[in-house]
Structures are given as structure tokens and as C-alpha cells.
Structure 1
Amino acid sequence: MTSSVSGVGSSHIPQPQRHPYASGWTIFAGVMLITGGLMAIFEGISVIAKDDLVVVTRNYVYSMNTAGWGWIHLIIGVLVVVAGIAVFSGALWARIFGVAIAGLGMIANFLWLPYYPAWAIVLIAIDALVIWGLCHGGLKQAGE
């Protein structure tokens, strides 16, 4: 007769599988990415649909057709929503993609400041919180 005191032998106790999932700050960043992306989509649609919605000032170094800005915000908004959904998987590539897209959104909204300053500042703040949340938050293992 053999005894399996130390776990060696024929009896094997299966360990629970550990799956990574998004933690608190990562979930926050994902929700904020989706919220900011939807805001950018609505912003883009409104500017494309009605070109005279925003006031165009002439004293800035850069200028662009507002319909062109609308398309840029619409495309970036869709990418931001996709990044927000991907972040919920907890995958590292999704967090990196989220940081990159949020940074791109910050740049686009900085350039959008002359056209709609209040909206741009709100979206810049959301993108800054998203970048902080994605860089600060990590993965938790099931059961922790």
C-alpha cells in the first residue's frame, strides 16, 4: 500500500483556474472610454450635420473645415468606444490601445479648442483620467 501524504501519487486535487479580468481602475477607464467615445461620436455627427453649429475664429495658427473636424471626431469616437469595450477583457494589448487612442483623442480635442472650448476641455479631462486609470490599474486574478 502506498500513501500519498505529500500529494504525490494517484490522487490529484484540481486547482481552480485563474482567469485575468479587469480591475477597478481598468473598469473605470473602460466606462470613461465608452462615455468619451460616445460624446465624440455625437460631436462629430452634429458638426457634420450642421456646419454652422460651431463658431469659427480666425485668430488661431491652425484652421480646418468644421465638417472635416466632424469626420475626425466621428472616427476617433468609434475607435475610442472599441478601445473601451476591449479594455473590459483585461488584456494588456487593450490597455495599451486604450492609452494610445485616449492620447490621440486628447490631441484632437486640444486642436478642437478654438471651435468648441467647453466641450473640448471636458473630453481632454476624460481622456486624462482614462490614461491615468489604464496606467494605474492592473489585472486581478479570480479569487483575489
Structure 2
Amino acid sequence: MVFAAVLMIFGGFMAIFEGIAAIAKDDVFVATRNYMFQWNLTGWGWIHLILGIILVAAGFALFSGAVWARVLGVAVAGLAMIANFMWLPHYPFWALTLIAVDLFIIWALCVAPRPGNT
């Protein structure tokens, strides 16, 4: 469970940094044309920022063994995976890295024993 919490905090902070960079209209990102999920960069930035904040908060709550944090972590990590998949044309390496982190978060939350069942 600690592994999942640390990954959630790490993945959340990475999503927050990604969101801040997109909101600030950083020159790091690639502008693609004719992409199916084409929103402006600021919109994507806000999505990643919000998902990152929720992941960090749920990650810290997971240290106390809160079951709601576990459920919220699986749901938000799944949403973050989808958002990063749609983010692939803007920054492929970063998106693939965060997809892998989110996948490990979901795996760790699903296989960890319940508190009291050791």
C-alpha cells in the first residue's frame, strides 16, 4: 500500500508539473494538426493539473489506510491514463512514462491486501 501511495504522489506531482507547463504555454510541447482530440494546450493543462492534485491528495490519504483513497486512486489513475493517452501527440515520452506510472498505481492498489488482512 505504501508503494501505491508513493507512486500516486509521484504521478500526481508529475501531472501537476505537466499541467503547469501547459497552462504557462511552454515551448516544450509539440503542436500537432488534424489530431482527433485537439483542444488548446491550456485546456489540457487544467485537466492534468486537476487530476494531479486529486492524485496527490488521495496518495497522502492512502498512508492512513483510507479505503475511499484506494477507490479514488484507481478511478483517477484510470482517468489520468486516458488523459495521457490523448496527450501523446503533444509530448510522447512524458505521456508514455505517466501512462506506465498510472498503470503501476492501479496494479498496486488492486493487489495490496486490505488493512487488517495481512
- Specify the alignment match of 2:75 in structure 1: 100
The secondary structure found in structure 2 opposite 1:67 is helix
Cα displacement (A) at 1:93? 1.6
Q: Is 1:27 the equivalent of 2:2?
A: yes
The secondary structure found in structure 2 opposite 1:53 is coil
Are 1:36 and 1:123, in contact at CA under 8 Å, matched by a contact in 2? Answer: yes
After superposition, where does 1:1-144 map in structure 2 within 5 Å?
Answer: 26-141=1-116
> What is the RMSD of the two structures over their aligned residues, measured on CA atoms?
1.6
The Cα shift of 1:61 comes to 1.7
Separation (CA, whole Å) in 2 of partners of 1:36 and 1:56: 24
Alpha-carbon distance in structure 1 between the residues aligned to 2:29 and 2:49: 16
Taking only the aligned residue pairs, the percentage that are identical comes to 60
Q: Gaps (5+ residues) in structure 2?
A: none
Could you tell me how far 1:59 is from its partner in structure 2? 3.5
After the TM superposition, list the runs of 4 or more consecutive aligned residues in structure 1 that deviate by more than 6 angstroms.
Answer: none
CA contact (8 A) 2:25 2:41 kept: no
Given that 1:83 and 1:101 are in contact with CA atoms closer than 8 Å, whether structure 2 keeps it comes out as no
- Structure having the higher strand fraction is 1
Which consecutive unaligned segments of at least 5 residues does structure 1 have?
1-25
Provide the aligned length of Structure 1 versus Structure 2.
118
Q: Which has the larger radius of gyration?
A: 1
- How far apart, in 2, do the equivalents of 1:92 and 1:109 lie? 26
**CA contact under 8 A between 1:51 and 1:67: conserved in structure 2?**
no
Check the 8 A contact 1:34/1:81 in 2, yes or no.
yes
* Matched residue type, 2:35: Y
